[in-house]
Amino acid sequence: MTGTCTVCGTPLARGNTTGLCRPHYLADAVARRRACAAGRNASRPTQCSECAAPITRHSRSGRCRPCAMNSADVNTRRTDAIRAALSDPETRDRHRRAVAQANRSPEKREKSRAAAMRLRPWERALAAVTPESRQRAAKTLSNRRLAHIPPSKREERRRLLNRGFTAEEATRIVLDEHAREVSSRLKSEAP
């Protein structure tokens, strides 16, 4: 079909069967492609279901990449795959040797140092330290170190330490007192 474009009237090249000049044909093809894609993707979400970030049309989970990579099911699959791969002693030793070799190289050390200087992870850690977090950490550490002393006697031990007793003496006194209390309680409960 030779003739003119049905939209603008410009002469068409010989063998043109569309009835449109090249610019109008391309514009029409783009419009048809967009309409088809709009119909196909109408039901697909455009935002992450967890954080409302925009997602690509290729997302099958309905989540952005960071949320999808940090989801519980992905982490479970990832850890299961790592466990399965490292369950073989030979594979585990080969991996351990490769990592050790890589960490010995000066380039790797310099790269790690540069990344640490760029990311400055200590600033984030220091920002997370608050008076409340310090109190929780002190309480946890105290509970761990004094696990052999009953919680009801820890304050008494602290008072003894402040009065000048050594830690060993204060602990012995408190534990002996606790043993006496328990034995007297058991004697009073016995029929």
pLDDT at 37: 66
Tokens of 178: 């606790």
Q: Where are the domains of the chain?
A: 1-43, 45-87, 88-127, 131-183
Q: What is the DSSP letter of 44?
A: S
pLDDT digits 0-9 by tens, 101-129: 988 999 999 999 999 999 999 998 898 89
Cα–Cα distance, 98 to 87 (Å, whole number): 17
Q: How many residues does this entry show for the chain?
A: 191
Max Cα distance, the chain (Å): 118
Q: SS3 letters for 55-119?
A: CCCCCCCCCCHHHHHCCHHHHHHHHHHHHHHHCCHHHHHHHHHHHHHHHHCHHHHHHHHHHHHHH
CA angle centred on 109, ends 108 and 113, rounded to 5°: 115
pLDDT digits 0-9 by tens, 82-101: 999 999 999 999 999 999 99
Measured from the Cβ of residue 78, the count of other Cβ atoms closer than 10 Å reads 11
Cα–Cα distance, 39 to 47 (Å, whole number): 18
Rg over alpha carbons for the chain, rounded to the nearest Å, is: 36
Identity of the residue numbered 52: A
Asked whether the whole model's pTM tops 0.85, one would answer no
pLDDT digits 0-9 by tens, 30-73: 888 877 666 655 567 788 888 888 888 788 778 888 888 888 88
Reported as a pLDDT band with limits 50, 70 and 90, residue 1 is: very low
- The residue among 46 and 78 whose pLDDT is bigger is 78
Tokens of 169: 């003496």
pLDDT at 51: 86
pLDDT at 170: 96
pLDDT digits 0-9 by tens, 121-158: 999 889 889 999 999 999 999 999 999 999 999 999 99
Helix pair angle (106-119, 89-104), 10° resolution: 80
